[in-house]
A and B are shown apart, each in its own frame.
Chain A
Amino acid sequence: MSDEKPFVHPYIPNSVPEVKEQMLREIGVRSVDELYGDIPERLRFRGRMNLPEPLTSEAALKRHVEGILGRNRSCAEALSFLGGGCWPHYVPAVCDEINRRSEFLTAYAGEPYEDHGRFQALFEYESLMAELLDMDVVNVPTFDWCQAASTAVRMAGRITKRGEALVVDTTGPDRLLVMKNYCRGVMSLVPVRHDPVTGGMDLEDLAVKFTERTAAVYFENPSYLGLLETQGQRIAEVAHARGGLCVVGVDPISLGVIAPPSHYGADIVCGDIQPLGIHMNFGGGQGGFISTRDEERFVMEYPSRLFGIAKTAVEGEWGFGDVAYDRTSFGVREKGKEFVGTAAALWGITAGVYLALMGPQGMRELGQHILQKSQYAVKRIATFSGVKAPRFRSPYFKEFVVDFTGTGKSVADINQALLGRGIFGGRDLGRDFPGLAGCALFCVTEVHTKNDIDSLAAALEEVLR
């Protein structure tokens, strides 16, 4: 390296040669290479990494990256009706203001003293979610709904000491893939059929399959297909009567108007916080929550951090800290519950901000707004000949299935034609649900105006003509 010009980079203060020299002298070596003395020559990489010439000026870097990103056409530049686990909702400016703060953005794993605010913000997130869910325990977020559902099922397995879980076959496809991999070799997942007319769970199939080996039944409300499960109470009763648990995945943004799963017998509730003030981020905005009653047999099975509130040495001061730390893998490695680590804390803080802003009234109004908008969209789409909307009879929230099979056109062709009109049509369900070939999943939220929905209807009219 001695024949090269010094490389001084703004991110590396001690790349200044004089400083480097001084530090080497204090260590008592002549070159940095000496510090690598423990790495034998056979393990040294003496080649060059084939990387592009660096763009060391920030201006050039910005131009380069923006050039690549310019090839994206985002949902802000089109009219999108895509959902399916990542949803467009309005993000209040305060949410971005808080999660872009240096203090939160660049903090990590400090103590509950100098990082008191991180602990408090996440404790408050747990507490705000607990009100929404009407349950007493919520974890510090995990990666996403997929992980939350996987862990919820594994928790149920440990609590009941049973090795099998029933999963309704309308469960989100990503969710199912993650759950299958997470349970492989330890728990088996058995599908339960949905009723082809209502889209809800087939209770006869449930009754046959829920045995003394079954730890839990898992369903989603609303389901991946947007359908509301109206038989929650009966499903929970079947599980409980046979000594098992009821695990429910839920979209938290529905809970201002829709009863939380704890009201119809759920023992473990899970879901995603992305709707609560977090941008879609190409699917990078997900965060998973898990919630239970405050019973030791449940709490001790969480793998996650659980931040609790306590007093300090000074009267009137709130302190925070880890509850039951010794159940975690941080505490006892493989003897802990699953594993814990970095996941989605910043999104947890953000979701807390969102719920604090929305309040009870806001959540109710938003839930109602989404119900009305999605019902209106269905009404408009259902008018076209050969189109069946909604495909299933159950009530729905935010998303609904549109069946185009009667039009003689494929979803792919329809979506291509819509794309040409600046519209991202509904998710083609054929690949993930062979029984729903020719159907698409549309998502309508508060970000859509009546005009937007009317534009979709007008475009569909042209496309289907």
Chain B
Amino acid sequence: MKLRAFHQAKWDEEVIFELSTKGERGILVAPVENAIANEVGDGISALPESLRRKTPPALPEISQMRALKHYLRLSQHTLGADLNVDIGQGTCTVKYNPKINDALAASPKVAELHPFQDESTVQGALEIIHRTDLFMREISGLDRFSFQPASGSAAILAMASIIQAWHESRGEGKTRDEVITTIFSHPSDAAAAAVKGYKVVTIYQTEDGLPDLEALKLAVSERTAGLLITNPEDTGIFNPKIDEITRIVRAAGGLCGYDQANANGILGVTRAREAGFDMCFFNLHKTFGTPHGCGGPACGALGVVRELTDYLPVPLVDFDGEKYMLRHDLKYTIGKVRSFYGVFPAILKAYAWIMSLGERGLREAANVAVLNNNYILEKVKRIRGASAPFAPGRHRIEQVRYSWEKMTKETAVTTEDVALRMADFGFHLWSSHHPFIVPEPFTIEPTESYSKAEIDEYLAALRKISDEAYEDPAKVKGAPYRSVVHRIDHSSFDDPAKWAITWRSYLKKHGKGI
């Protein structure tokens, strides 16, 4: 397998403030018509002196082409999924985002819609939302979806909010003050519950990599408000006792929320309904092919069973057989978790993605994602120094959390070193969420989007770096060599006297220039 002689663009580009030349303009604003100026004067005189800005903001002054060039160069310093075999950001489900969907969302029929327009003028947009709701019901087995949460974490917050509102409506809001999660569930499953004031109870895994059922049985009580759990967890191991877990929590009086941010391996295979969940959510920017955008805008599509529909954020989109309408009158609604109706372009792109694939295509996407993942598992296990902890001999769903522990012990090359060396081949390799339960972790999730040849190329890079680690560890520890920049000095980032979160702060603390 050929490894390409990659080198990332390296423009040695300035920080934008260094490009400023006094008097240059990037874009002009037309003055108001003379008749208006004659009528109202300069506009500013209407403001009391205290409200007027005395000194203009110290923004840079840059001509248009130079500003464009700056940002184009920064874009070339960024390795988007469209440019690489983006399987190394495990748990993130970095798959192909079809260009046609971006083109559809760029239409003025989407971009120039205002959320407060009369419902009769936005029937198309409401129809997209309603139809996507129907699709999500089929995929999850649940009864109603809201697309208002603008990310997976926001959907988790919404689930925790529904758990809270549900118990409050039954007079148990004060007494049920604990939410249970697992250590391999996403950090936000713990953190968003804590935002709502819950004490977080974290269940750790047993030797098989799955949450400890006995610990769970001990953890539930009359204080249990609910459960927020990922499955498959970050290990990619499907939890066959997931329905037993929900039964235990429900028997204790808790509600069960399924973190299906990443459902890429199980579309049409297994659903929240059969697993006994009251709520679930899907990240449209993961499983449903909408772009990640460097970290949003995005959507966590939140679904609930019928009994919880009245707790959803408002408004919902209803259809009476003729027209679509916004519905605000939900008795127990948690209110809102984002302004308006969420990130509509993401909903539209997910709708188009599902329409392109259909029932069979969704299942095929899941099947091939799982096929790709197990193919990689088979190959990574044979790479010197790498291992796949837990569940030996078993297959995984959509991703695997691997470990370089052996390599680190034998060569002192860490997972971070490997990640930085991967950049030299034009790849990402992400370690893991903290804490590192798996030592020297890395997580690979191939999705369905990459060909066997591309996957083989990625694997060849991992093998090459493993060889280097054992033969010439200094080489790996000095990486990257062919990326945009070299090893960054992190020493200032945790020091309040030195950290610089803005350019002006840098100049204050460190003086001009580098």
Contacts and interface: CB of A to CB of B under 8 A. Distances in A.
Ranked 9 nearest A-B pairs via Cβ = A54-B358, A283-B340, A117-B77, A357-B26, A371-B43, A346-B293, A319-B488, A329-B191, A283-B115
Interface in B21-62: 24-33, 35-37, 39-44, 46-48, 50-54, 56-62
B375 interface: yes
A39 B491 CA distance: 47
Interface stretch (A181-189, A212-220, A240-248, A457-465): A181-189
B26 to A, nearest CB: 3
B194 interface: yes
A107 B187 contact: no
A404 interface: no
Nearest to B426: A114
A103 B75 contact: yes
B486 A317 contact: yes
A42 B274 contact: yes
Contacts of A114: 8, 78-79, 423, 426-428, 480, 483-484
Given A11-B96, A379-B39, 7 more contacts: A98-B71, A108-B81, A114-B428, A124-B503, A305-B295, A311-B488, A363-B57
Given A106-B80, A342-B298, A282 B115 contact: yes
Contacts of A255: 53, 57
B57 A318 contact: no
15 contacts: A13-B451, A36-B397, A37-B395, A106-B291, A117-B75, A131-B58, A177-B335, A182-B337, A186-B195, A259-B51, A321-B493, A322-B493, A323-B494, A347-B297, A369-B29
B46 A375 contact: yes
A352 B379 CA distance: 43
A74 B395 contact: no
Interface string B121-163: 1111101100000010011010000000011111011000100
Given A44-B270, A178-B338, A371-B44, A74 B113 contact: yes
A203 to B, nearest CB: 15
Contact of B240 (A43, A180, A314, A323): A43
A35 B395 contact: yes
A280 B505 contact: no
Interface stretch (B214-222, B302-310, B360-368, B400-408): B360-368
Contact of A308 (B188, B291, B492): B492
B475 to A, nearest CB: 15
Interface residues of A, number: 218
B50 A264 contact: yes
Given A12-B365, A339-B157, A362 B25 contact: yes
A99 B152 CA distance: 22
Nearest to B46: A395
- B43, B54, B76, B289 pick with most chain A CB within 10 angstroms: B43
B301 interface: no
Contacts of B50: 230, 232-233, 259, 264
B109 A70 contact: yes
Given A51-B138, A66-B107, A120-B15, A136 B508 contact: yes
A174 B339 contact: yes
B117 A82 contact: yes
Interface in B226-243: 237-238, 240, 242-243
A283 B79 CA distance: 29
Contacts of A177: 314, 335-336
Given A78-B121, A114-B483, A131-B504, A144 B338 contact: yes
A372 B36 CA distance: 7
Contact of B340 (A39, A86, A294, A368): A86
Interface string A112-139: 1111111011111011101110101110
B285 interface: yes
A379 B156 CA distance: 48
A128 B123 CA distance: 38
A360 B356 contact: no
B190 A334 contact: yes
Contacts of B46: 371, 375, 395
B249 interface: no
Nearest to B114: A82
Given A138-B502, A284-B342, A299-B496, A84 B116 contact: yes
Interface string A415-454: 1100100001001000000000000000000100110000
B43 A49 contact: no
A22 B453 CA distance: 12
B46 to A, nearest CB: 5
A112 B514 CA distance: 18
B53 A258 contact: yes
Contact of A39 (B270, B378, B514): B270
A65 B103 CA distance: 11
Contacts of B483: 113-114, 116
B96 A284 contact: no
Given A104-B293, A258-B53, A284 B345 contact: yes
Contacts of B27: 92, 94, 357-358, 362
A455 interface: no
Interface in B374-412: 374-375, 377-379, 394-395, 397
A281 B150 contact: no
B44 A136 contact: no
B428 A85 contact: no
B256 interface: no
B466 interface: no
Interface string A302-322: 000111111111111111111
Given A52-B355, A113-B423, A174-B336, A311 B128 contact: no
A185 B197 contact: yes
B150 A144 contact: yes
A109 B42 contact: no
A9 interface: yes
A450 B194 CA distance: 52
Contacts of A318: 15, 485, 514
A373 B40 CA distance: 9
Contacts of B117: 73, 75, 80, 82, 424
A339 B336 contact: no
A11 B43 CA distance: 54
- B94, B95, B96, B110 pick with most chain A CB within 10 angstroms: B110
Contacts of B423: 111, 113-114
A207 interface: no
Contact of B295 (A37, A109, A333): A109
- B12, B53, B449 pick with most chain A CB within 10 angstroms: B53
Contacts of B95: 11
B75 A98 contact: yes
Given A136-B508, A333-B187, A371-B46, A24 B371 contact: yes
B56 A361 contact: yes
A103 B37 CA distance: 44
Contacts of A94: 26-27, 64, 67-68, 71
